[in-house]
Amino acid sequence: MRLLVRLAEHAGEVVSIDDLLEHVWTGVVVTPDSVYQAVTSLRRLLGDDSKHPTYIATVPRLGYRMVASVAPWVGETVSPAADAAGARRAPRRGSLRAAGAGLTLAFILAILIYGRFGSGMRASTAQEAQITVAVLPFLDLTSQSMDQEYFADGMTEELIDRLSKIRGLRVPPPTSSFYFKNKKASVSDIAKALGVAYILDGSLRQSGPTMRVAARLVRADNGFVVWSETYDRRPEDVLKVQDDIAAEVAKALERELPQR
């Protein structure tokens, strides 16, 4: 609720992860994962799509922004004698707080419904999630200038988003994966820190008009490569490359399921 109100108070503005941690989880020691999970829960309750948001938009490496229309709450407390000039002089922050309160009322109903009927779904999902995989930031090997780093980061975030939607998979959020960017650590150490059984990593190179994307899936307990593939595509076909990699990784993991 505090997360929702905080975003509503700053509708249209980017609210940083640090700001949310300070004002929503005041006095509690948590990691940025708490923000990511809470936003994911809000989106699920709203039926929102992170790729085409109508409520909460992700601003990569900066924070979140409420893109839904937020207006002052008009209720019975409004005095009939209030004139237009007085209404114009009302402070903006107070209006946004009222709007956040109005949205909160709607969410109370949603969460009550979710709490009433969602416990069985949560238990079922926990039983089904047998495989855990972390997607590490893809490496930009195009040149010394690393001018395709944004492409590599976008590939990483897209794969995390797509794999997290596959039934039976649990995938740590981007905030966890990007923590290990440019850090020297073994696969087993990273897997232990993230609590996963598999690591997906990769790289991209560009030669002329061709973009080569390489990806591999590694089993953390023994370091064996379960699956690997290389894709040569034109840069404008990046979405197709992401689809191909996500589909192949899913198939590789499905082959591993009976062995666990």
Distance CA 176, CA 164 (A): 14
State residue 128's pLDDT score. 40
Residues recorded for the chain: 260
Domain co-membership, 140 together with 227: yes
Q: What is the 3-state secondary structure (H, E, C) of 181-212?
A: CCCCCCHHHHHHHHCCCEEEEEEEEEECCEEE
Beta partners for 63?
Answer: 16, 59
Domain co-membership, 103 together with 170: no
Domain co-membership, 182 together with 227: yes
| Burial category of 199 from C-beta neighbours within 10 Å (exposed 0-12, middle 13-18, buried 19 and up) | buried
Is residue 209 included in any domain, yes or no? yes
Is residue 81 included in any domain, yes or no? no
Is residue 122 included in any domain, yes or no? no
Distance CA 122, CA 125 (A): 5
pLDDT, tens digit, for every residue of 154-169? Answer: 888 888 888 888 877 8
Domain co-membership, 155 together with 227: yes
Give the CATH number of the domain where residue 144 resides.
3.40.50.10070
Domain co-membership, 181 together with 65: no
State residue 197's pLDDT score. 92
Mean pLDDT by 10 residues, the chain (260 residues): 87 89 82 80 82 88 87 58 47 50 50 44 41 90 66 83 83 89 86 91 83 88 88 76 77 63
Domain co-membership, 101 together with 163: no
Beta partners for 16?
Answer: 63
Number of folded domains that form the chain: 2
pLDDT, tens digit, for every residue of 20-70? Answer: 888 888 877 777 777 887 888 888 778 888 888 889 999 887 889 999 888
CA 212 to chain centre: 26
CA 253 to chain centre: 21
Is residue 124 included in any domain, yes or no? no
Give the CATH number of the domain where residue 14 resides.
1.10.10.10
Whose tokens are 């948001």? That residue is: 53
Please tell me the pTM assigned to this model: 0.49
Domain co-membership, 104 together with 34: yes
Domain co-membership, 182 together with 108: no
Q: Do β-strands 198-207 and 14-16 pair in parallel, antiparallel, or remain unpaired? A: unpaired
Domain co-membership, 236 together with 150: yes
Its domain, for residue 47, covers 2-73+90-117
Domain co-membership, 17 together with 66: yes
Domain co-membership, 111 together with 135: no
